Each structure stands twice: as C-alpha cells, then as structure tokens.
Structure 1
C-alpha cells in the first residue's frame, strides 16, 4: 500500500523570492513578512496570515500574481488556501526584533484583550474596514503605522471626502496599537477640540498646560 506525499514548499519559497525581487522592500515587508507557509495538499498550498484583513488584501492585490508564479514553477495550477491565525494563538518567534525603549515595546506574550480604550470606538478595526478604489493606499499606510508606530509614515495626514473612512482608519490605528503595545499612551481628539484647546490656552495664557497635555502622547490621533 502506498501513500502520496504532497510538498510544494520549494515552489512557494521560490515564488516569494521572486516577489521580493519585484516589489519594493516596504511593500514586501508589509504584506509577506508575516505570511508563513503552513502545509501542502493535492494541488493546494496553505499559508498562515495574521488576520482576515491581511488575507483579504493579499487576495485582492497579489493572489493572481502568486498563482501565476506557482504555475510557472510547478507546471500545475496550485490552489492557495489562507489560514487566519486565532487571536489566542501565541505569536511564533522569528528573528529578534530591534530593541525599543520601554514605552514602545510590543507585548509579545498572549494575554486577554484589554477593555475598550475610553476615547476609541472598539468596532473600528482593520478587519472590518471596507477598502475602496480610493482608500487602498491610506489603508496600507494606516496598517504600517499600527505595526510600527513612530517609524512608518510619521507624521501621516489622511485626507478625503466625507464618508470615505478617515475616522475608521485613524481609530483602527489607535485600537491596534492599544491592544498590541503595553505602555504606549494614546490620545485621540477631534480637530475641533484640538483647535479649541489651543485657542483657549492662548486666551488664558496657559500654553504650557496645552503643551503638557499633548507632548507626552506616544500616539497622537487627530
């Protein structure tokens, strides 16, 4: 009695190598560094992704290209399956991350989700943000900020018309940073409130109080 073993890992890794050569370093890092080969089946490759948002974005932007490369490499039409990591699953250790100061250290241990941030709406997350034709770049930038606050797109201005998702994206940044970074202080304020605070501080000659209110925010969302 014989058994058949399917292993397409070499084709997957070669396809990723080709993509890395073709894409910018930032784009490849954003969408493929957190995607892992998981297993193979008959004419199928399964990869792990960190969230449904990642899965949907990769399928929308890169699925056709990936499958084309896999076909060229293997000579077979390989179907790509995405396995979304569960929230409670511990993060797989990879190469050591650059050390940051204590305020900017991401929590890597599994823990229960925090209660909602008092200034943010918990339903605003990347997972349920609907990406439109004109919001793809903004969504990618927002996700990069949430993954590496203070380094990518700092500062970042999101501009657009009413109802296009600016508030959703900004609060998604805040919610993800709040859940993943233990000690970062997040301040979310509307532009109107920020302006009123500034004007009032000048009128009442309390500019130092205004500075102190916002200076110590690690992530300032306006």
Structure 2
C-alpha cells in the first residue's frame, strides 16, 4: 500500500459511536467553512437545513431550486466528503427544495439509527449508490443526454456513451472518456447511469469516484471484509468510475481495481471510466490497467469552442426560465460571458449562476455593465494559475488536434509546431521546471523543451501569423483557465 492508503487505514476508529445528527451536521459545516471560505459558506451552505437522516441517506433542505442546483453543481462532492469525515457509515446526501421557513424543532425528522460496523456501513453506502446512481449531490439535476450540448469537441464521446446507455457495448468495454476539468465527463457517466436500460430494478449499477473506491477498499481491508467488497463489486452489471487519476500511485487499490475490471469485463458487465488525461499520460497508472483500458475504446472531450460555450449558456437560461418566469438575459451579456470565460461548461455555468444570483433573481437589472462589475475578476484576472495540462488542451483545441496527437512522437510539421508552442507556453506561463515540463510531454527531456522555447521565440519574431496564434492561445488561457 502507498502512504495515502496506509494513512486511511488508521483514519477512522473502528468502534466510533454515532453522534447526534445535528452535532454531526454542525461539524460538517465547520469543516466545510474552513475549506470553501466564510463568504461562499454564508451564501450557499448556511441556507441549507438538515431535515432527515436515515439508514442510507442524509436529506438537506434548500430554500429554492437555484440554491439547490448551485450546491449540487459546485459543492456536492466537497459536501459529501465533509459529511463522511465524521460519519463512517458514508451515507449519500440529497438536497431538495422545501419552501417556507423550517421550524427549528422540525429540522430533523428522525434520529439516525445505530452505527453498524465499518464494513457493513461501507456496503450500505455502496448499496445506496447502486440503487440510486443519480442521487449523489455532485450531480447536476440536468445530466441527461438531452441536456448535453454537442459539437466537434465532444461528439465522439457523446455517441459512444449513447451506445453504452442502450446496451450496445461490443468493442466499447471498458469505455474510457478523458478531458480537462469540467468539460462534461461526469455528465456523460451520469447520463448512462440514468438511462432507461440501466435504471431497471434488475440491473446492478454502481457509480462512484476513484477516491470512493479507494476509501471503500481500504475500509474493507481495515475491517478484514475484503471478501464482501470483492463480491459486491464483481456482481455488478454496470460500473461507472469517475476521476481515475486519483487512484494513480496507490498500488494496492490499483491492483484490486485491475482484478475487479478483469472480472467484470470477462463476465460481460460494462465498465465506464473517466480521467483528466489520456491513459498514457496518467503518471503512476499500473501498466496492467493501462493495457486493459487501451484495449477498450477511448474518447476525448476537448476544450469547448466559442460556439459551444454560447449554446451552453442559452440552454442554461432556457432551463432556468421554465422555473423563473420572466427571466431574460440580453444576448450581449451571453456573448460577453461566452467570449471571455473560455474554460469549461462547469465554470461557464457557475459564472452565469453567480451573475443571476446577484441580479435577476433579486430583482436587479442584467446588463453588460453589471456583468463586467460582478464577473470582472473571473474574466480578466491576470494572476490566474495555468497548468501544463490546460496549456496542452488549449493548444490541441486551437490546432484541431487530439491530445494524443499533440503528445505523440510524430514529427510531421502540423504536429511538431503546436507541440513546441505548448512547451514554450508551459515554460513561460507555469513555474514548472524544464525536466518537469519535458516529463509531461511523454517523457521528453529538458533539452527538448529548451530547443522548443528557442525555436518558437525565433519564429514569433519573423512569422506574424504564428505570433498571433501564440498570443491568441495565451489570451484564451489567461482569460479562462484557473
């Protein structure tokens, strides 16, 4: 086991006693406030109320649908992990709208049942996941296929996910989708899990993150219940595992997941995986897992174009207008957001939500001046931190290449030049060392990075078209990525 797995083994007392639910919620709030800051906590978490805790779930009440949606989209995973820090039973959290003021004495419908052993708790938590794969709080309520906006950056991943959702899995097992943060990977996994085929009562479906897999596996080891863990995982019809990169470097967990993956695919069960990078670019990934994953089907979701960003905003406004009658956003405002927030759908929608929360939803006008005032820091923060992965994705998208092509060993001009630009920008826009930059480009050495830097600097002085390209990519990164 790696150090993180060993630390998790000692992280929870075996016979912890369940504190009263309200005390547990109070501790969760304190933990979350330290993590997200007082301002965000006061705006979004403080309005929530704990209304019910039962054997498998925790129910929170939000004052309105907008608050519920924002919490689910932006804080869902943090909220779950904060709760589970104090609740070894690992129950799922559900947020729903409860209109009107909640009386203090009525906030908790029922006391939590006695805590079971850690292994049983882990099994209960995962049973809840499999019975309601779409119910965990990190899910956006609009995560069906019909709510996924399509263009050239994601059409292959979308098409394959559609086929998997209908049970057409020949050659698609495992199905591995990868791309940067917030581009829609989790959305597609949720859409598969929520499809009519996989929501039939007879289907055994489990959606979880790699972090949750590691946590549950380590808990099973600690409680000497690995046989139950193996039996539960290998009895599934569909396993969807998000954020595989979290498992990299955790040798024992990767070994267990490799055997789980092998058992499921051999039995004809479907496995769907996601990660923030292509398998070959995941540092610390077990070679056996790499081989097994690349033997299935891989699809990349690239950084979204201006046109796609505009469509996403229009779709979001349309959905909100069904719930908030009279809601209207000027086209010029949507254009401004789409043009200047160039990151990903999740952050794009987050910016729109922030704008609406401080304007239309409290009766204030929505116009370009207010948009600039409220979102100015997001749109024009020169101190934004940019990662090598973001640079690679931005350059690949700009030149209409896949990430695999950009990082490959191919020497054709249409690939070499963008690759050199990505190295040049990585040197000048990040604090990473030259060997580290080279390593992120499929193990190239620091001399290659130095050569690329000199080459692009020289070309920019003599080639105005290339100089304009580099400037455009840099601007896109500075305005959008963080």
TM-score strictly above 0.5? no
Give me the TM-score of the superposition, normalised by structure 2: 0.22
Larger Rg computed on CA atoms: 2
More helix by share: 2
Give me the TM-score of the superposition, normalised by structure 1: 0.44
- Report 1 or 2 for greater relative contact order, CA contacts < 8 Å, sequence distance ≥ 6: 1
